[in-house]
Amino acid sequence: MTVPVSSPALRDAGSAGPTVEIDRGSIAPLYLQLKDVLLTQIRSGSIKPGEQLPGEHVLCTMHGVSRTVVRQALSDLELESVVERRKGKGTFVAHRRVAQSLVQHLGGLHDDIKAMGRTLRSDVRRQTIELADPQIADRLRVAVRTPVVVLERLRLVDGEPWVYATSHVPVALAPDLVTLDMSEQSLYEVLHHRYGLSLASSDRSVEAVQAGSELAAALGIDESDPILKLTSVSYDADGVPAETFVAHHRGDRSRFEVHLTRTDDAAVSTPMYLV
C-alpha cells in the first residue's frame, strides 16, 4: 500500500492521474513497481512532457519507499529516455524523440516531418552566394572559389526549434535558388521540380557533438547538451555531387533509425575513419 501524504504540497504533487499502488506482497522489486507507477502517470498524460516530477524526498514519502528505490526507478526511466535529469534542477518528463530515416533513405527532413502529419517551417538565417572554401569544394568536387548558394536555416517542427542546417549547392546547377523563398519549401523538391536535379544517392555520417553557445541559443538548449551532427553529400544519377549539408539535430528531439539485413557475403568490410 502507499503511505498517506501528510502535507498539502505532497498531496498536490501526487493527486493528478490514475491511482496506482505499490503492492508489498508482490514478488516484483519495489523499484520496478515505482517505475510502473511513474510510467502510468506519464503515459496517461497526468505528467506531461517537459513537466517536473516530484523530488526524491517527495516520492519517498508518497510511496513509502527508500531513496535507493526512488533513484533506481528514476535511473531506469532515464536510461529508457522517458525522463531527463537536469543537474541542480530535478527530473523532468522527456519529450518524445521522433524517429527519422535520414541516414537510411535519400530524403530530407521535410519528407519525414510531413509523413508524421506535423508542420515544418524554416527560419532562413542566411541565403546568399559565396565562393566555395576547400572543404565545401572537396565535398562538391568543384574547384575552390566556385560560386555556391549557401542556405542556412533554423528548422522548426510545430513551432519548436529542432534542427540548424546549412546547405551548399553549386550556382551553376540552381542559378536563381538564392532568390527563392525557402521558409516553407523542401530544398530537394525545389532541386527536382525547378532545376531537374534528380538525386539518386547520398553519403551521410552521424556523430554526437556538444551544442556550443551559438547553436544552443538558436535551438533553445543548454551549451552542454548533446546534438546529433548529420553531414551529407547527395549525387545525381551520374554520380555528380549536387548538394551538401551539415545539420545539427537536437538530441532530445530526434533519433535516427536504420534497417539492416544480413548477407551471405563473407568479405570483411573496411572500417571508415572520419577525421
pLDDT digits (tens, 9 = 90+) for 109-139: 666 666 666 788 899 999 999 999 999 999 9
pTM of the model: 0.61
Residue 271 included in any domain = no
End-of-domain residue from the set 67, 93, 119: 93
- For 244-256, the pLDDT digits (tens) are 999 999 887 766 6
End-of-domain residue from the set 44, 74, 93: 93
Residue 66 included in any domain = yes
User: Are residues 119 and 205 located together in one domain of the fold?
Assistant: yes
Q: Identify the sign of the CA torsion 34, 37, 40, 42.
A: negative
Closest to 167 (Cα-Cα) out of 99, 248, 100, 73: 248
Residue 264 included in any domain = no
User: Are residues 158 and 211 located together in one domain of the fold?
Assistant: yes
User: Are residues 117 and 70 located together in one domain of the fold?
Assistant: no
Structure-block grid coordinates of residue 51: 513537466
DSSP H or E stretch at residue 169: strand 160-170
Residue 132 included in any domain = yes
Domain of 161, CATH number, reads 3.40.1410.10
Residue 45 included in any domain = yes
pLDDT of residue 67: 92
User: Are residues 185 and 232 located together in one domain of the fold?
Assistant: yes
Q: Please report, for residues 40, 63, 67, 89, the alpha-carbon distance to residue 33 in angstroms, rounded to integers and kept in the order given.
A: 11, 10, 14, 25
User: Are residues 88 and 120 located together in one domain of the fold?
Assistant: no
238 CB-near residues (< 8 Å, 6+ apart)? none
User: Are residues 80 and 202 located together in one domain of the fold?
Assistant: no
Domain of 23, CATH number, reads 1.10.10.10
Distance CA 130, CA 140 (A): 14
Cβ–Cβ < 8 Å for 228, 254:
yes
Query: What range does the domain containing 77 cover?
Result: 8-93
Residue 238 included in any domain = yes
End-of-domain residue from the set 40, 75, 93: 93
pLDDT of residue 217: 93
pLDDT of residue 183: 93
User: Are residues 62 and 119 located together in one domain of the fold?
Assistant: no
Domain count, the chain: 2
User: Are residues 110 and 239 located together in one domain of the fold?
Assistant: yes
Residue 273 included in any domain = no
User: Are residues 104 and 228 located together in one domain of the fold?
Assistant: yes
Low-confidence ranges of the chain (pLDDT < 50): 1-18, 99-106, 269-275
Task: Determine what percent of the chain falls in helix, strand and coil, rounding each to the nearest 5.
Answer: 30, 30, 45
Distance CA 59, CA 15 (A): 12
User: Are residues 224 and 145 located together in one domain of the fold?
Assistant: yes
User: Are residues 43 and 114 located together in one domain of the fold?
Assistant: no
Residue 144 included in any domain = yes
What is the chain's alpha carbon radius of gyration, rounded to the nearest angstrom? 24
Cβ–Cβ < 8 Å for 159, 121:
yes
pLDDT of residue 192: 92
Residue 243's DSSP bridge partners are 234
User: Are residues 72 and 41 located together in one domain of the fold?
Assistant: yes
